[in-house]
Amino acid sequence: MVDSVYSALEKVGGSTIDIVVSETGWPSAGNTDATVENAKTYANNLVSHVASGQGTPKRPGKALETYIFAMFNENLKPAGFERNFGLYYPDMTEVYHVNFPAS
């Protein structure tokens, strides 16, 4: 999807604009495919790809600035998957482990 945004920007003269993925994640509960294992796989694959510096097929080698949504599960949101995007529970225990590389 990032490359489709790059392509759209190029069509309107924005080829030098950088993209920031300001919110991405996978819920760990609240839906059939929202499992801790799926959320862990998504987050770890994302972190691994971003840390690799590979970029995208359209912009190879271009750093991709990305932010994981969210730090904590939000127990005050309505019931369902929206409550369950956090890396941690509200009591600060880990929902699942993400392998963040040392900088």
Distance in angstroms (rounded) separating the CA atoms of residues 12 and 28: 38
Two tokens at 47?
């972190």
Distance in angstroms (rounded) separating the CA atoms of residues 38 and 41: 5
Residues acting as catalytic residues: 23
Distance in angstroms (rounded) separating the CA atoms of residues 8 and 18: 12
